[in-house]
A and B are shown apart, each in its own frame.
Chain A
Amino acid sequence: MTDVAPPTTRKDWSSDQEVRWCPGCGDYSILAAVQLLMPELGVRREDTVFVSGIGCASRFPYYMNTYGMHSIHGRAPAIATGLAMARPDLDIWVIGGDGDMLSIGGNHLIHALRRNINVTILLFNNQIYGLTKGQYSPTSETGKVTKSTPFGSIEAPFNPISLAIGAEATFVARTHDMDRAHMMEMFRRAHAHNGASVVEIYQNCNVFNDGAFEEITAKAHRADMLIPLEHGQPVRFGADGEHGVTAGADGKLRIVEVAEVGEDAILVHDETDPGLAFQLSRLASGPHTPTPIGVFRAVERPEYAEQASAQIAAAQAKAGPGDLQQLLLSGATWTVS
């Protein structure tokens, strides 16, 4: 075996299993983006593992010709944490939806991010429960009418990006299922990040929540409704970059017309500034007003499994590899002859 992975094509990464999402589901375009990206990453299929929870999104591993585990609802980040600690040599992706990772599995998501374990988390956010046929989710907007909220949801939704930043995530990004190139770029960067990375993907559920993101992701609206974030670049959007984001004297971010405030007043994005990342995550309160996409935050922090391995190496350097007989004799002992 050589160190360089042999070249592959999308076909090599596709399993023999028939894809069974509803026709028109946004999950298809995410699957295509991942399968198209993998050959570009120079990694081996056998070293790649997809771990998922339960939900429509979590069927994902069955369609990848890699190792994979379709686990139980919400627990994929916990299972992946153990796998990543045991096998830092593997390339581990975690797949789940908004119900899976923000509701039943919310605890595991925030702790995986906090620990900075080296997994790439793709959070398919369609703001609805699909597999259980249409109940409101922790990202559904207040007032959402569903089967379980016939009078409208009275709950405030999570903002997944704010949540991830609050959980000390070292890499946080957002993309959407209508832009394959942008998805691939976000996945590429998330994969390259050493530590826990999370990418929120606005994903359309055409059966139970069709058009949830249309106001911002439809081709006709995109230029005015999506704010691309690029490190070191002014935060501008619009067909001609005519809109922008400024930080006022009060510290608040505002959407402005560049012509009115001047180019120098436009905020420059800094992925390493956690305060800025949080503020940007609050710029839109739902996919109805101009919404930032791209990498909100990317910082370096020691990775968890590496540190765990380093502690083992240090202990072995100090005490030598464990001697079982000596361990059993390590307490107070006495001999009967």
Chain B
Amino acid sequence: MSDIAERTPVELDRVIIRFAGDSGDGMQLTGDRFTSASALLGNDLATLPEYPAEIRAPAGTVFGVSAFQVHISDHDITTPGDSPNVLVAMNPAALMSELDKLEPGGTVIINTDAFEERNLAKAGYDENPLTDGVTLKGYTVYEVPMTSLTKGACEALGVKPRDAERSKNFFALGLISWMYTRPVQPTIDWINAKFAGKELVRDANIAAFKAGHAFGETAELFDHPYVVKPAEQPPGTYTNISGNVAVAWGLIASSQLSELPLFLGSYPITPASDILHELSKHKNFGVRTLQAEDEIAGIGSALGAAYGGHLAVTTTSGPGMDLKAETIGLAINLELPLIIVDVQRGGPSTGLPTKTEQSDLMLAFYGHHGESPLPIIAAYSPANCFDMTIEAARLALKYRTPVILLTDGYLANGTEPWRIPDVADLPRFPMAFATGPNGSDDEGNPVYLPYLRDPDTLARPLALPGTPELMHRIGGLEKADGSGNVSYSPENHEHMTHLRADKIAGIADDIPHQEIRGDEDAEILVVGWGSTWGAISGAVDRVRAKGRRVAQAHITHLSPFPENLGEVLRRYPKVLVPEMNLGQLSKLLRAEYLVDARSVNKMRGVPFTAGELEQAILAELDR
């Protein structure tokens, strides 16, 4: 037996681990706990959960595989990594569906107990890949009978073998925690808290976790563990945050910053429901949540709350956006503040509910009838969802308009370390409502004119129900400028159409100029929006490291675009736009600025890797 002292940890600057198993195997939990332990250790990290749309897809099948990829590093990283270095495969189906993602020569840790005839057949293996001499050739393979070792560890607790088997994900977690020298105690604390009141489950999970850890330590299988040191990060207090939680917290923050109570009207939909769940927990912040009867009532109730003076929001994904279109149009016409969060997923129709895509950009721009512009902004990373949510609230309230905030399934479920801001440093935008008349009628009597605009912002005043003397009626019919009375006058309609458009266009003065990262004298500008930021940044760095001159512009404000965007686009000989769609932003840039913005597309339900985009940039440079 080798002496543990001999097995000094080897230092790595980063590692990408992919946990894969059946959707009932608890892989998301395993990945999440490993991530948390790594975050507490101070690594920079990025995660990519991937799971099937079915809650319990047929066990053992390839389409029932659930995977969680985590990239941990001792330096700043922006993506969950291109190819995993390590694959943990809990069953044959996981090996079948995930092995091709592993880097050449990578490490595979296999739960051999699951490799019996039935499972092999279900996964589509004619021959056992562990013994066929072909499948795993060239990989470093560790075969561990995790199920039986877990059962053994739990035997003394009096746990039934069938129940004990369900703790095998904690065995895997323990083993990987040993391999990458993660602290043990946070996970044990977590198990204790999570399974308090379910003593047998708690004890079985702890026993399995410890057994996995001890197995790594004592079995002669592994030469040595690894260390990934903490990343250099600016001083501060950090937490690991997902995009959906960041949106929810951003909404609560916006409520305090605007001094308005928060109202969420929402209908459950993947991958947006976690925002509803998170906000429903925090009623002590005065948050009102309504799980509406449908998507239309979700936004309808929010619009009603906005009319009543609350900071109102509705959260959804693509199919819900389709249903909300008419109410968004009403909000545009009523000029009421409203936040619409679209957590994009693969479409059309039900599409790929659990997979990410960026294919709702045109929908956000043009998905409502009539001339109906509205601000559209997009978050670029899980943590950035917090800031962009506050920006959505600021714009909605200041300009009395619905605002669409675009995130996607990857941002929603992916996590990254977030330096927690000091609340005192957040922008405040207290909302002021009308308190008295703002005009006079033909006879000189004071009256309230609900559509008399602020000359600077073109925003209208808002008089809340309950305010004496300011009673007025609003509606979806065209309104006379100023009075807001119903008007069918052709001149007025054209005038109002321009006014509504000018109000939104004018927001360009109130948002940051487009920033450029990279080389001033670049040969190519890579333009992105939303969650592609991490992969584009990684790719741009790699191409620059090869000596090519590349610039990157990542657009957060899409409607209106930043004032200087046209000038920025025309500055570079080539413009490349990677998008997880068929080229929606590139179309908009071409239409708006007459530049030859060329598109790179991916519609596979998973983000671009930095490697893919590196190749795309190099190809475009050589074109």
Contacts and interface: CB of A to CB of B under 8 A. Distances in A.
Instruction: With a 10 A CB-CB cut-off, give which of A316, A321, A336 has the most chain B CB atoms.
Output: A336
Contact of B467 (A46, A108, A336): A46
A328 B421 contact: yes
A236 B397 CA distance: 58
B297 A81 contact: yes
Contact of B308 (A86, A314, A328): A86
B252 A322 contact: yes
Contacts of B2: none
Interface in B471-508: 471-477, 485-486
Contacts of A139: none
A334 B39 contact: yes
Interface string A61-100: 1101111111110010011111111110110000000000
A45 B470 CA distance: 10
Nearest to A308: B288
B301 interface: yes
Interface of B: 36, 39-42, 186, 230, 233-241, 249, 252-253, 256, 261, 263, 265, 282-288, 290, 292-294, 296-297, 300-310, 312, 326-327, 329-330, 334, 420-423, 465-477, 485-486
Interface of A: 1, 15, 17, 44-47, 49, 51, 54, 61-62, 64-72, 75, 78-87, 89-90, 107-108, 111, 308, 311-312, 314-316, 318-322, 324-325, 327-329, 331-337
Given A46-B469, A69-B474, A336-B236, A85 B305 contact: yes
A75 B297 contact: yes
Given A68-B475, A82-B265, A86-B261, 19 more contacts: A15-B473, A46-B466, A62-B475, A67-B472, A70-B474, A71-B476, A78-B297, A79-B300, A83-B305, A83-B465, A85-B305, A87-B308, A312-B283, A312-B286, A324-B252, A324-B285, A334-B41, A334-B42, A336-B234
A70 B237 CA distance: 49
A81 B290 contact: yes
A62 B428 CA distance: 36
B285 A46 contact: no
B236 A90 contact: no
Instruction: With a 10 A CB-CB cut-off, give which of B293, B294, B326, B477 has the most chain A CB atoms.
Output: B293
Tell me if B's interface is mostly helix, strand, loop or mixed.
mixed
A82 B476 contact: no
Contact of B423 (A46, A328, A331, A336): A328
Contacts of A85: 263, 288, 290, 301, 304-305
Contacts of A322: 252, 256, 282, 284-286
A17 B485 contact: yes
A62 B334 CA distance: 14
Contacts of A314: 283
B190 to A, nearest CB: 8
Given A90-B466, A334-B238, A83 B304 contact: yes
Contacts of A17: 473, 485-486
Contacts, number: 207
B300 A318 contact: no
Given A82-B265, A86-B309, A336 B238 contact: yes
A293 B384 CA distance: 59
A328 B251 CA distance: 12
A46 to B, nearest CB: 5
Given A70-B476, A336-B233, A108 B300 contact: yes
Nearest to A90: B465
Contacts of B469: 46
B237 A90 contact: no
Contacts of B472: 67-68
Listed from nearest, the 8 A-B pairs whose CB atoms lie closest are A70-B475, A82-B304, A82-B301, A322-B285, A78-B300, A83-B304, A78-B297, A86-B308
A331 B240 contact: yes
Contacts of B252: 322, 324, 327
A107 B330 contact: no
B423 A82 contact: no
Given A45-B471, A86-B310, A108-B293, A311 B305 contact: no
A107 B297 contact: yes
Instruction: With a 10 A CB-CB cut-off, give which of B39, B234, B420 has the most chain A CB atoms.
Output: B420
Contacts of B471: 45-46, 65-67
Contact of A335 (B41, B236, B294, B468): B236
26 contacts: A44-B468, A45-B471, A46-B471, A65-B471, A68-B475, A69-B334, A70-B474, A75-B297, A78-B292, A81-B297, A82-B303, A82-B306, A84-B304, A86-B305, A87-B466, A108-B297, A311-B283, A312-B283, A312-B284, A320-B284, A321-B284, A324-B256, A332-B240, A334-B39, A334-B40, A336-B236
